[in-house]
């Protein structure tokens, strides 16, 4: 699979994350069929074209940490009813996407 195909697959998966939920880079990598490519997921999202309107703010790391240097992510999550714990991380037990109900699974 080339980089564009991988990115397109990542975008399609992230578009499936429901409002009020988050996913991790590792989950997206797993769902894409490449479980060891979580960093590539991050790169794909970083380079996502604006016109696609990918809800990248719904993707956090495996500890629920937000993307460093992206000040708007916290507000975008808050607008969807996702509130951060005192340590600034998303409570994954509460907000993690249950992707088992995703169409092709």
Residue of 53, 56, 62, 89 with catalytic role: 56
**Apex 55 CA angle, 51 and 61, nearest 5:** 135
Residue 53 bears catalytic tag:
no
Distance, CA of 39 to CA of 32 (rounded, Å): 13
| Coil, helix or strand at residue 62 | coil
Residues assigned a catalytic role = 56
């Amino acid at each position: 699979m080339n980089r564009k195909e991988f990115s397109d697959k990542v975008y399609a998966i992230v578009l499936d994350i429901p409002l009020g939920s988050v996913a991790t880079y590792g989950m997206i990598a797993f769902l894409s069929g490449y479980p060891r490519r979580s960093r590539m997921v991050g790169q794909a999202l970083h380079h996502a074209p604006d016109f696609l309107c990918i809800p990248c703010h719904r993707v956090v790391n495996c500890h629920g940490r937000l993307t460093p240097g992206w000040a708007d992510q916290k507000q975008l999550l808050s607008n969807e009813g996702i509130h951060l714990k005192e340590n600034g991380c998303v409570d994954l037990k509460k907000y993690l996407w249950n992707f088992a109900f995703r169409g092709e699974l």
